[in-house]
Chains A and B, each alone.
Chain A
Amino acid sequence: MNLKNRSLISITDYSKEEILHILDLAEGFEKDQRQQILNKYVVASLFFEPSTRTRLSFESAVQYLGGSIVGFASADTSSVKKGESLKDTILTVSNYSDLIVMRNPLDGSARYASEVSPVPIINAGDGANQHPTQCLLDLYSIRKTQGALENIDIVMVGDLKYGRTVHSLVQALSLFGASFHFVSPESLKMPSSVKTWIKNAKLEYYQYTDLSEAIPKADILYMTRVQGERFPDPLEYEKVKNAYILENSMLDKAKDNMKVLHPLPRVNEIKEDVDHNPKAYYFQQAKNGVYVRQALIAAILGLK
């Protein structure tokens, strides 16, 4: 298994074996997080748009490993504001670092960056397109709570049309033979391209509009936020923003092994009374992001 110097732009860049390799490495970092293997290495963290979890968990991953971080947390504090092109920013920063972690609001910016950069790129989200490290931490959380990734029943809820995390997760879980249950308003249904992907993998999907009907089927209940910023029409957003709200009492009929995941941030879609239920796993899920990102950085720099 050699992931050294390979950029990660889309989850489909990795084979099933490569995904499992990263999850295994992440398990090692969960057991022993403070391995000082990144001394003398510099990682650049280029966030052209705001982020809490992704940016901080990457930065904390580098620091737990003993590495250094350079970069910026918004385009306003970089030369992008002076009109510098993405190519020039990447070529410049690659002189100062061994690896670049990048979030950018433009779809496809990460793929482009990986083609001009002499150092590997990890995509920390390119607009509405891909967010592969979120997908890896979701897979890690599913495997950890269910014991395996094979043949799980996953219920995905909320914005299935614009939500990039659910699209990547469907692609990745298809490698392991999942059954998919989609709960969404009519206007936010899973796109046909994703359903075609499932059909091609010879797997099944089921669609619902009633959340309570789907909950008893779930090993994993994957809640998502309806993202206002992705809607072309604000009125459409108002109509659907509170379509599905998970309350603690709704979990009474859930399977014993079921866990609730959410990529966070949440707004209204999970009531706070769910937080104390042992089935709530979303904060632990965010913590797993650090182990997975440590694993990825170590593998790409050839240190594991």
Chain B
Amino acid sequence: MNKKRTELIVSALRSGTVIDHIPSDKTFQVVNMLNLEETESQVYFGTNLYSDKYISKGIIKVSDTFFDEGEINKIALVAPTATLIEIEDYDIIKKHRVQTPETVEKIVKCFNPKCVTNHQHIPTRFKVIEDHKGNMKLSCHFCEKTMSKEDIRFI
């Protein structure tokens, strides 16, 4: 695996969004979170690619698509290191790291088996908080239980 090989695998985008620096083992999860199997745009993705910053990375390119900020930021739950690059006519018009969202709605299951959201048809809702060590946690709006990153399961 070397840098030249990476460039050959993933071709340039004329217009659209590149999601770079995804941890390799999270690439498929990000594809699912963004519902990319439903899109009609061209999607390229690679995983286990060489990275200067990380041991290996994943990358996703979606042509002619620009994501809503609220929608894209949810990937920070699994890929906080990911970078977003928006491209128009082969030029980078915007580049930034994903931001951890303040709230997470509908996509995560509450880990508390007795939470009302696991028994009735209710969209889940969490506040994103940090514990005293700076670790990200999700606090359920309904049952008020707090779960760690390891407990997160997507619906």
- Asked whether B132 lies within 8 Å of A108 as measured between CB atoms, the reply is no
Q: Which residues of chain A come closer than 8 Å to B122, judged between CB atoms?
A: 112
Given contacts A85-B120, A85-B121, A87-B120, contact A108 B146 (CB under 8 A): no
Complex Cα gap A127–B118 (Å): 13
New contact pairs (7) apart from A87-B120, A127-B114, CB-CB < 8 Å = A85-B121, A104-B116, A106-B115, A107-B115, A108-B116, A126-B116, A129-B143
Q: Chain B nearest CB: distance from A192 CB in Å?
A: 9
Complex Cα gap A193–B145 (Å): 10
**Interface status of A105 (Cβ within 8 A of chain B):** yes
Interface residues of B in 109-133 (CB under 8 A from A): 112, 114-117, 119-122, 131-132
- Asked whether B116 lies within 8 Å of A130 as measured between CB atoms, the reply is no
Who on chain A is nearest to B142 by CB?
A108
Who on chain B is nearest to A113 by CB?
B116
Size category, B interface: 10 to 19
Q: Which residues of chain A come closer than 8 Å to B112, judged between CB atoms?
A: 107
Complex Cα gap A111–B120 (Å): 13
Write the A102-118 contact mask toward B (1 if CB under 8 angstroms, else 0): 00111111011000000
7 interchain pairs (CB within 8 A)?
Answer: A106-B116, A106-B119, A107-B145, A108-B117, A108-B143, A112-B120, A196-B132
- Asked whether A130 lies within 8 Å of B144 as measured between CB atoms, the reply is yes
**Interface status of A128 (Cβ within 8 A of chain B):** yes
Write the B69-105 contact mask toward A (1 if CB under 8 angstroms, else 0): 0000000000000000000000000000000000000
- Asked whether B146 lies within 8 Å of A86 as measured between CB atoms, the reply is no
Q: Which residues of chain A come closer than 8 Å to B149, judged between CB atoms?
A: none
**Interface status of B14 (Cβ within 8 A of chain A):** no
Q: Which residues of chain A come closer than 8 Å to B140, judged between CB atoms?
A: 108
Complex Cα gap A130–B114 (Å): 13
**Interface status of A7 (Cβ within 8 A of chain B):** no
Complex Cα gap A22–B148 (Å): 36
Who on chain B is nearest to A109 by CB?
B116
Write the A146-189 contact mask toward B (1 if CB under 8 angstroms, else 0): 00000000000000000000000000000000000000000000
**Interface status of A10 (Cβ within 8 A of chain B):** yes
Complex Cα gap A10–B132 (Å): 23
Q: Which residues of chain B come closer than 8 Å to A127, judged between CB atoms?
A: 114, 143
Query: Could you say which of B116, B132, B144, B145 has the most chain A C-beta atoms within 10 Å of its C-beta?
Result: B116
Which of A109, A129, A193 sits near B146, CB closer than 8 Å? A193
Complex Cα gap A49–B119 (Å): 16
Query: Could you say which of B121, B132, B140, B144 has the most chain A C-beta atoms within 10 Å of its C-beta?
Result: B144
Q: Which residues of chain B come closer than 8 Å to A126, judged between CB atoms?
A: 116, 143
Write the A186-209 contact mask toward B (1 if CB under 8 angstroms, else 0): 000000010010000000000000
